[in-house]
Structure 1
Amino acid sequence: MLRSFYRVAAGSIVVALFSACAAPVPGRDVAALPRIVAHRGGTGDAPENTLEAIRQSVAHHADAMWLTVQLSRDGVPVLYRPADLSALTDASGPVSTRTAAELAQVNAGWMFRSRDAKGNDDYPYRRAPVGVPMLREALRAIPVGMPVILDMKALPAAPQAQAVAQVLNEENAWSRVVIYSTESAYQQSFAAYPQATVFEPRDATRTRLLRVLLNEGCFNAPGKDTWTAFELHRPLTVTEKFTLGEGISKVNATMWSGSTVACFRQRPGVRIVAIAVNSAEDYRAAACLGIDAVLVDSPAQMERVRAGIDAAGECPAISRGQQKAASLLPDDVARGPL
């Protein structure tokens, strides 16, 4: 697979972004297409947050890895998302009640369901168990040039941030990792580590998106080189307050649009990740908007979608100039071979 490596000239943060692995299609601007980020390692193709999922996503040409982190009982960062082990495994209880060694023996693929040749439900990983891996193992399994987004789960934030920082120090991995969390406590905890790259708080991203969508204008655009992420579509509840009560409306809002992207692009180097992009239609929409990367459940499926897109000819509502203006390469980024 052909890859390119981009280094911010004025800083120590390395941002790896990849070109496509397939031969260029005539008329297709490969570099303009959104990068594919494997959600929880590729939860649609293999048991999420496992080394097997990571292996498959690399084989399916994912450009980056999104992994979910919690702490084991003995303070080791491990990869698991739900609050209870019973959601995905053959065990039960919080991750924090078991050691990393015990979690390695849990079958993280117990609930992974697929279809067999006859169309019946199958649970293939009950025959081939996969454990809950440590973050350290995952970093060693992922190609060094591949960016890794770590989604921080569980509170309190400070102990987990400290444990993750220790692993990143020991694995020399700060330069390829970006930290994400819906909990602002993690932004605060990682502020103690100047080498950390952290997504802006989700509250800030959401508020800015809504203000633009509701025609309030673009306020407090992200600063230079900020990382941002939000769902492409998001169910929202709108509450209107009255003197004698309230009215509630539920809507399925499209959060990323030409206007919201333009607001976020006010300053150079801002990177936009659209979450929950799992259809060809949504991938094309993200490509037309100039979104940098999309978070997908199945890299295998989305790579086929990307391979079939002619980026130059499928965006009639957006000019080619607008797409290039929304390119993910800021002015101060220098390119070199990996």
Structure 2
Amino acid sequence: MSLFRILLGMPLIVACLGAACDNGNDDTTSPITAETAAPKLVAHRGGTADRPENTLVAIESALAQRADMIWLSVQVSADGVPVLYRQAALESLTNGTGKVADWPAATLAQLNAGWQFAETSADGIKQYPYRTRPVGIPTLRQALRLIPAEVPIILDMKAMPAATQTAAVAQVLASENAWGRVLIYSTEQDYQQTFAQWPRARVFESRDTTRGRLVSATLGQACSTPAPASGTWAGFELRRKVEVVETFTLGEGRSSVDALFWTPASVKCYRAKGAANLVAFGVNDQAAYCDAKRLGIDAVMVDSPEKMDGIRAKVVKNPEVCGN
């Protein structure tokens, strides 16, 4: 995970750009606000630690492990079909080469998206189980038809330009009548604007806005931007490596810290105007899950639904394990 820098002695400018607000669409996902509730599990890329990420076998596994929501990475193929893949290069995860945008969806489906997926045996030997049972790169449409309608889906937009991918994704969501069960996320702020033309689209608050509000609440001890409207969706890492840079006349000083961004202050800031749907990223052990639970975070993004379902079950059965 890369560091981001906080500059001391410089103004923090935050713009509120197209926050995902309650716009009257059907939203079957009820926010969890009570501190005693167990945060929902969001299967990151279908459960990247359990199965080859963004594949149908990963989705099936996550559903079997009672994941509450499925997070999927989306790019567009050469023939304009939204497919599920995260990396820029196909060779990072598959037995193919080039980029997703270089190949039609039918060709991508023939690649082995589990080629680089490794498991370590009890004697410490790394194995590649999916090299003998290949799994292709699926389309978004296939995933929508596999995932039950009552399970919400978060689509992470990975390709640029945003307008091209937005149009392709919107066409699939409309034809599958899936707007009501899908949320849109991207680190690229352009998607805030491109999805604005689709009235039924539900889009996460921009990452820049979320980052600014969290930094202000944690370091500045203040809600420096207006609280988002009730119904807003916002997500950020529970903890994040941060480099603090203090500038001097003749140089600068640097400090690295493992910062906790979701705090009682930042959660309160988000919920000043009503219910906000808060998702903590990178929650992969019991301690982090308990942190999210104590804060009243609605959902946590996890790499292993298999592991985290067991932790959630333990916490629900015996809340004292979190020190409550």
Query: Normalized against structure 1, the TM-score is what?
Result: 0.85
1:111 to 2:126 alignment: no
Structure number with the bigger relative contact order (C-alpha 8 A, sep ≥ 6) is 2
How many residues align? The count is 301
The answer as to whether partners of 2:31 and 2:277 remain within 8 angstroms in 1 is no
1:89 to 2:102 alignment: no
Q: CA deviation at 1:117?
A: 5.3
Tell me: CA distance 1:78–1:58, structure 2 relative to 1, closer, same or farther (3 Å): same
1:37-186 pair list within 5 angstroms: 37-116=42-121, 118-186=123-191
Q: CA deviation at 1:115?
A: 2.5
Q: Deviations over 1:133-161 (max 9, x none)?
A: 00000010101100000000021100000
In 2, the alpha carbon distance for the partners of 1:211 and 1:188 equals 25
Equivalent in the alignment of 1:239: 245
Q: CA deviation at 1:163?
A: 0.3
The answer as to whether partners of 1:36 and 1:64 remain within 8 angstroms in 2 is yes
1:177-326 pair list within 5 angstroms: 177-219=182-224, 220-310=226-316, 312-314=319-321
Q: CA deviation at 1:251?
A: 1.4
Equivalent in the alignment of 1:324: none
In 2, the alpha carbon distance for the partners of 1:66 and 1:137 equals 15
The answer as to whether partners of 2:227 and 2:270 remain within 8 angstroms in 1 is yes
In 2, the alpha carbon distance for the partners of 1:313 and 1:305 equals 13
The one-letter code of the counterpart of 1:191 is A
The 3-state SS of whatever aligns with 1:32 is coil
Q: Deviations over 1:55-80 (max 9, x none)?
A: 00000100000000001001100000
Q: CA deviation at 1:30?
A: 11
1:14 to 2:7 alignment: no
The answer as to whether partners of 1:17 and 1:35 remain within 8 angstroms in 2 is no
Mind listing any 5+ residue stretches in structure 1 that lack a counterpart?
Answer: 1-7, 20-28, 319-338
The one-letter code of the counterpart of 1:12 is N
The answer as to whether partners of 1:64 and 1:147 remain within 8 angstroms in 2 is yes
Q: Please, what is the CA RMSD of the aligned residues?
A: 2.1
Tell me: CA distance 1:30–1:204, structure 2 relative to 1, closer, same or farther (3 Å): closer
The one-letter code of the counterpart of 1:127 is T
The answer as to whether partners of 2:35 and 2:295 remain within 8 angstroms in 1 is no
The answer as to whether partners of 1:68 and 1:79 remain within 8 angstroms in 2 is yes
In 2, the alpha carbon distance for the partners of 1:224 and 1:203 equals 19
Tell me: CA distance 1:30–1:127, structure 2 relative to 1, closer, same or farther (3 Å): farther
The 3-state SS of whatever aligns with 2:300 is strand
Tell me: CA distance 1:112–1:301, structure 2 relative to 1, closer, same or farther (3 Å): same
The 3-state SS of whatever aligns with 1:309 is helix
Mind listing any 5+ residue stretches in structure 2 that lack a counterpart?
Answer: 1-20
In 2, the alpha carbon distance for the partners of 1:197 and 1:42 equals 23
The 3-state SS of whatever aligns with 1:237 is strand
Q: CA deviation at 1:11?
A: 2.1
The 3-state SS of whatever aligns with 2:66 is coil
The 3-state SS of whatever aligns with 1:287 is helix
In 2, the alpha carbon distance for the partners of 1:79 and 1:275 equals 20
In 2, the alpha carbon distance for the partners of 1:10 and 1:286 equals 27
Identity score, percent: 52
Equivalent in the alignment of 1:328: none
In 2, the alpha carbon distance for the partners of 1:314 and 1:33 equals 12
